[in-house]
Amino acid sequence: MAILIVADHDNHTLQAATFSVLTAASEIAKHISDTELHLLIIGNECQSVIAMAQGITGLSKILVADHQIHQYPLAENIAPLIFSLVQEQGHCNDENREFDKVEYSHIITSAGTTGKDYQPRVAALLDVAQISDIISVESADTFKRPIYAGKAIATVQSSDAIKVLTVRSSAFTAASLTTELLAIESQVPVAALAAQADSGKSAFIKAELTQSSRPELTTAKIVISGGRGMQNTDNFELLYTLADQLHAAVGASRAAVDAGFVANDLQIGQTGKIVAPDLYIAVGISGAIQHIAGIAGSKVIVAINNDPDAPIFDVADYCLVADLFEVLPELTAVLKVKG
């Protein structure tokens, strides 16, 4: 019996979300006797990712599908690969390229944009239900997940033979990674999977990536977000300056994104990114329920808004009713002096 974890990576490094998924998988494994954790890496020329994965505590095996068709994470190619692997109930042995019988009880990955794309397809191919965005493991077949934009938590039990799950990475602490050089005999064994044909159903055209020296939004310890109250794109410079002082990531509410103030990849909330920083600062954000769902895991929430009745104040730990255009420059100046 084994749990199959599908890794998030960019062909160079493992994404932080994968380490949280590993923690969730470990919690599931505690409820199953004699189970193993297998990590599936799907990519192209991803040797550095494999080397990094070999330092993860608790893994029994690493399965690698390294082929040109997987250079970009196309769900139409990933889902059939996972399905064929689970359908065979095994994995390829490097030496003789035969399948050792391994029964997978769970297929698990992060609830990011890529995982949300291929996991439903995997579930459909297996004719099982998918359980999305789990935040807690109750047993091997029972999980908790938020519903109604986080206003309620549902406890879901699955009777399917194979559980297909996505994990809200902010709800689980990251698994440990060994940074020391490992002896060959202590490294996690790697098994290469045979290449599969391109499905031909989709093709990668281009990627438009936002370059930033600031921390990544979903893993940052401090996040500063702006809402409709910022009024325009130029005013977001106030947040960028403050973020640089605090070494923070910058986000935005959906209203700010829809208004064109910032790019879509900065959106936080139910339809954007889920964050759980040590400190979340909401500036000019009213606090729609969809936004609150995306920041509920934050340890400390600070809200700055000139409306004393703004819903954001209901969830904030510290509330400041003031004009953001006066507060932000003052706060930046104070931090500059103390820095």
Question: Token match 């029994």: residue?
Answer: 60
Q: Kindly give the pairing relationship between strand 318-321 and strand 300-305.
A: parallel
CA Rg value for the chain: 22
Domains of the chain: 2-192 (3.40.50.620), 222-338 (3.40.50.1220)
In sequence order, what DSSP letters do the residues of 100-162 get, joined into one string? EE--EEEEEEESSHHHHHHHHHHHHHHT--EEEEE-EE-SSSEEEEEETTTTEEEEEE---SS
pTM greater than 0.95:
no
Average pLDDT over residues 8-27: 94
User: 142 Cβ partners below 8 Å, 6+ apart?
Assistant: 155, 156, 157, 158
pLDDT tens digits for range 125-177: 999 999 999 999 999 999 999 988 788 899 999 999 999 999 998 899 888 77
pLDDT tens digits for range 36-71: 999 999 999 999 999 999 888 889 999 999 999 999
How would residue 186 be classed by pLDDT, with cut points 50, 70 and 90? low
